[in-house]
Amino acid sequence: MDLGALGIDRGGHLLVARALQGLAPGDTVEVRGHDQHLGLHLAAWAREHGHRAEGMNITKGKASDARWNGAERAGVPGPTVWEKAPLRWGLAARGALVEAGGPDLSVADLDTKAAVWSDLAPRLYAQAAAAQWDPATAIDWTIAPRLPDDIEQAVVQVMTYLIENEQAALMVPARFLGRIHPHYREVTQLLAIQAADEARHIEVFTRRALLVTRQLGVSGAGGRASLQSLLDETDFPIASFLLSVLGEGTFLHLLSFLERHAPDAVTAQICHLALQDEARHVAFGLGHLEEQLQAEPELRPRLRQAMERRHDALASTSGLNDEVFDALVVLAAGGWTPEAIGRGHEAVQQLQTDMDDGRRRRLTRLGFSPLEAAELSALHTRNFM
């Protein structure tokens, strides 16, 4: 083969390697060209790749083929995943031919399909990627709310409460991302977008809280203790159960309530957009646990124990701040007459009933009996999340 003026150091090695590719070990390629360093570079390249150089003749060696002895495919590139992903695959792309001898991906202890996978994951990831929204353009921040000071303060208090809850909802999936084997990449991609969703929610709730005033509301110790219990959970299925199925499932009702009773357009917009994101988070959590429980029915008692353990740990805390509860009443009331406050209080009581009904339905979907679902729903933290 003739390389002309092309040197080995400028890409000529690609043409030589291509010529050798279809040959058997022991076959020879004669290389020609007029680069002044061709012979020197050709010999060095041949030695590095296990071939023999005699002048301008390159005889194919066995080393380049032997390199891939023992190599294996890391599954198939499509959506079909293995029941267990070997740590020896490391960071190889799904479906790649993996050379033997690389380092094990020891940090990826979530390396089984049962532990992390849901058949919903590829579709939910595609939906999530298509549904991303920009806080700067998706919300009309120019519509400055003109609310009475006490109504604005109620909005600020609720936004403050939402921020700290969303910060926990960001940290929980983020801490598991590095533990999931990349073979189950749709799950890591989905959780990464979930974390991005929560980061965006924190941004818009903060921006709304400070849109008129320059101070946030209060943060109660009981509420933070409830959220801290989510961060302390190291088991992925249980953390997903407590956060996505119970906590964020309960928040679907809260965000819908706030959108319905929002005193201004900006508050309604951000609650509507956040609600759409949270619905995906709940869908994955439910889908994953439904599939896992089919394979591992013994997980169900562990889920129950996790709820009971969390309830006992939080028994001495105050739960939902009075300030948050009262702010919800004020927003639902829309006024300060006794009749309005009465309606607002009834609306918040109905919200709590709806939250309980929703938790029961989701628990029943996971195989708990209606009686068990009612008992467990009653154990859920009074802080909603």
| Each residue's pLDDT tens digit, 356-379 | 999 999 999 999 999 999 999 999
Provide the 8-state DSSP code for 83: S
**Distances 246 to 301, 305, 374, 382, 385 between C-alpha atoms, Å:** 16, 14, 13, 12, 7
**Average pLDDT of the chain?**
95
Which pLDDT belongs to residue 324? 97
As beta bridge partners, residue 98 has: 72
In tens, the pLDDT along 265-275 reads 999 999 999 99
Backbone angles phi and psi of 375, in degrees to 5: -65, -45
In tens, the pLDDT along 66-76 reads 777 789 999 99
Provide the 8-state DSSP code for 139: S
Mean pLDDT of 262-283: 97
Mean pLDDT of 315-337: 93
Across 268-368, the runs of DSSP E, i.e. the strands, are none
| Closest residue by Cα to residue 233 from 166, 184, 303, 321 | 303
Provide the 8-state DSSP code for 103: P
Is residue 101 scored above 90 in pLDDT?
no
Which pLDDT belongs to residue 339? 97
Mean pLDDT of 133-159: 95
Buried b (16+ CB within 10 A) or exposed e, 197-224: bbebbbebbbbbbebbeeebbeebebbe
Confidence at 144, pLDDT banded by 50, 70, 90: confident
Is residue 166 scored above 70 in pLDDT?
yes
Is residue 140 scored above 70 in pLDDT?
yes
Mean pLDDT of 114-122: 94
User: How wide is the angle at C-alpha 261 spanned by C-alphas 259 and 265, nearest 5°?
Assistant: 60
Is residue 50 scored above 90 in pLDDT?
no
| Closest residue by Cα to residue 58 from 94, 84, 88, 33 | 33
C-alpha–C-alpha distance, residues 326 and 344, integer Å: 9
Which pLDDT belongs to residue 187? 97
Cβ atoms 338, 355 nearer than 8 A: no
Confidence at 64, pLDDT banded by 50, 70, 90: low
| Closest residue by Cα to residue 360 from 375, 382, 381 | 375
Is residue 65 scored above 70 in pLDDT?
no
Does domain 113-379 sit in CATH 1.10.620.20?
yes
For 13-68, the DSSP string reads HHHHHHHHHTSPTT-EEE-B---TTHHHHHHHHHHHTT-EEETTEEE--SHHHHTT
Backbone angles phi and psi of 49, in degrees to 5: -105, 15
User: How wide is the angle at C-alpha 242 spanned by C-alphas 238 and 279, nearest 5°?
Assistant: 115
In tens, the pLDDT along 198-254 reads 999 999 999 999 999 999 999 999 999 999 999 999 999 999 999 999 999 999 999
Cβ atoms 59, 89 nearer than 8 A: no
Question: Lowest-confidence range among 28-32, 110-114, 313-317?
Answer: 313-317
Which residues are within 8 A (CB) of 26 and not within 5 positions of it... i.e. 6 or more apart? 59, 60
Q: Which residue has the tokens 């409460």?
A: 161
Is residue 109 scored above 90 in pLDDT?
yes
For 238-267, the DSSP string reads HHHIIIIIIIIHHHHHHHHHHHHH-SSHHH
Which pLDDT belongs to residue 70? 83
Question: Lowest-confidence range among 64-78, 153-167, 265-279, 305-319?
Answer: 64-78
As beta bridge partners, residue 54 has: 57
Is residue 350 scored above 70 in pLDDT?
yes
